Amino acid sequence: MSELPRRVLPAIVLATVGLLVALAIAGETASAQYPPPVGSVTTSLSDPTPATGTSVTCTCTVLDTVGNPVAGEVCEFTITSQPGTDASLSSTTAITNAQGIATVTLFTGSTAGTIVVEAEARSIESQATAVAEAATPVAPATPGAAPPTGVGQGDGGTPLALWIVAIGCAGALGLASLLIVVRSAAGRPKSR
């Protein structure tokens, strides 16, 4: 085997590993949107399965196109669907803070069922769903039993910042591989 292929092989392996790592971090297929997005709006609830007659915090998070929080953005909140007639919001608008977060309180009302809350900012709409359950008596704790666990929420997709890191890693590994190839070719003795 000649000297150049032995020097180039590690660079190719490094670039391939970098690409695989970037794809694994991204975890999904890239796609384009037209017109380009103006950022993102995410709506979430502090408890997606509250009891009837209680209240939960409804949060609207606004990010710009590179994933930075947007402060001072007006978020409009609306209940688009509810099982009864008495679910309500503490306010229909809220302004995002320095972390890009605006909050209102959702009162679940007296009827069990699904409540859909929509938040809109920057002409982007996002929804969160609460399934109000009829209040049940709390059972006494069993001595020695593990404490109850909460319900987690999904991430809603791969964040833009993660894509940027993955693409940056792949680019850096590709550049490092190219530099290894160039240095190998430059340092190769000339044959006579």
Asked if residue 188 has pLDDT above 70, the reply is no
Asked if residue 131 has pLDDT above 70, the reply is yes
Tell me the pLDDT of the chain averaged across its residues.
Answer: 78
pLDDT of residue 132: 93
Residue among 52, 132, 126, 133 nearest 117 (CA): 126
What does each C-alpha distance from 97 to 41, 63, 74, 102, 168 come to in angstroms?
14, 12, 10, 6, 30
Reported as a single tens digit per residue, the pLDDT across 48-102 is: 999 999 999 999 999 998 999 999 999 999 999 999 999 999 999 999 999 999 9
pLDDT of residue 69: 94
CA–CA gap between residue 138 and residue 7 (Å, rounded): 69
